[in-house]
A and B are shown apart, each in its own frame.
Chain A
Amino acid sequence: MSLKQNLHNLKEKYRGTKMEQSFNALHTFLYMPNITTHSGAHVRDAADLKRVMNTVIMAMVPVLIFAMFNAGFQHYGQINGFPSGMSFFSTEFWNLDNFWVGFSKIVPMLAVSYGVGLGIEFIFATVKKHEVEEGYLVTGMLVPLIMPIDLPLWMLAVAVAFGVIIGKELFGGTGMNVLNPALTIRAFLFFNWAAWMSGDKVWVHGAVDGVKNAAGTDAISGETVLGTLAANKEVGYSVSDMFFGFIPGSVGETSTFLILVGAAILIASGIGSARIMISAVVGAAVMGLIFNNIVDAGVITESSKFYSLMAFPFWQHLMVGGIAFGIVYMATDPVSAAQTATGKIIYGFLIGFFSIMIRVFNPAYPEGVMMAVILMNVFAPTIDHYVVQANVKRRMKRLKVKTT
Chain B
Amino acid sequence: MSKDIRIKKGLDLKLKGEAELNVSEIARSKVYAIKPSDFHGVVPKLVKKEGESVKAGEVIFFSKTDEKVKFVSPVSGKIQEIKRGEKRVILEITILADAQDTFVEHSPKNPNDLSTEEVKEHLLASGCWPFVKQRPYDVIANSADSPKAIFVSAIHSAPLASDLNFTLKGKKEALKAGFDALQKLTSGKVHVTVSPNADFMPDGIKAELHKGYGKHPIGLVSTQIGLIDPINKGEKVWVVQIEDVAIIGELFLTGKVNLERTLALAGTGFEKPGYVVAKMGAQVADVVNANLKNGNYRVISGDVLTGDKKSTTDSVGFYHTQITAIPEGDDYDFFGWNLPRPNKFSVYRAGMFSFLTPGKKYDLNTNTNGEHRGFVLTGEYEKVCPLDIYPMQLLKAILVKDIDQMEALGIYEVAPEDFALTEYVCVSKQDHQHIVRNGLDVMIKEVG
Contacts and interface: CB of A to CB of B under 8 A. Distances in A.
Contacts of B329: 34, 36
Contact of B349 (A4, A44, A268): A268
Q: How large is the interface on B (under 10, 10 to 19, 20 to 34, 35 or more residues)?
A: 35 or more
Contacts of B234: 399
B298 interface: yes
A395 B431 contact: no
A385 to B, nearest CB: 10
Nearest to A271: B350
B233 interface: yes
A33 interface: yes
B350 A47 contact: yes
B232 A270 contact: no
A48 B374 contact: no
Interface stretch (A172-180, A197-205, A231-239, A353-361): A172-180
Interface string B206-238: 000000000000000000000000101111000
Given A34-B367, A134-B373, A334-B376, A45 B345 contact: yes
Interface in B365-421: 365-380, 382, 388-390, 392-393, 408-410, 416, 420-421
A154 interface: no
A39 B345 contact: no
Contacts of A80: none
B424 interface: yes
Contacts of A48: 337, 368-371, 373, 427, 429
B432 interface: yes
Contacts of B392: 339
* Chain B interface, DSSP helix/strand/loop, else mixed: loop
Contacts of B365: 43
Contact of A39 (B337, B349, B374, B433): B433
A135 interface: yes
Nearest to A43: B364
A33 B332 contact: yes
A30 B376 contact: no
A344 to B, nearest CB: 7
Nearest to A340: B390
A334 B378 contact: yes
B379 A341 contact: yes
Contact of A131 (B309, B328, B368, B371): B371
B337 A32 contact: yes
Interface stretch (A49-57, A300-308, A370-378): A49-57
Interface string A1-42: 000100110000000000000001000111111111111111
Contact of A32 (B324, B370, B379, B409): B370
Interface residues of A, number: 61
A399 B235 CA distance: 10
A340 B388 CA distance: 13
A35 B336 CA distance: 13
A271 B427 CA distance: 11
B334 A30 contact: yes
A270 B367 contact: no
B23 interface: no
B408 A50 contact: no
Given A43-B326, A391-B388, A399-B232, A51 B337 contact: yes
Nearest to A334: B378
Contacts of B326: 42-43
A55 B352 CA distance: 11
Contacts of A4: 332, 334
Contacts of B372: 131
Interface stretch (B177-185, B281-289, B299-307): B299-307
Contacts of A51: 337-338, 348, 350-352, 370, 427
A403 to B, nearest CB: 9
B30 interface: no
B427 A49 contact: yes
Contacts of B416: 40
19 contacts: A32-B367, A32-B369, A32-B370, A36-B328, A40-B434, A41-B423, A42-B300, A43-B364, A44-B423, A48-B370, A52-B348, A131-B371, A174-B373, A174-B376, A176-B374, A269-B351, A334-B376, A334-B379, A388-B409
Interface of A: 4, 7-8, 24, 28-52, 54-55, 131, 133-135, 172-176, 268-271, 273, 334-335, 337, 339-341, 344, 384, 388, 391-392, 394-395, 398-399, 402
Given A39-B309, A133-B374, A269-B348, 9 more contacts: A4-B334, A32-B334, A32-B337, A33-B332, A34-B331, A43-B366, A45-B346, A47-B346, A391-B409
Interface of B: 13, 15, 230, 232-235, 298, 300, 304-309, 324, 326, 328-338, 341, 344-352, 354, 364-380, 382, 388-390, 392-393, 408-410, 416, 420-421, 423-429, 431-434
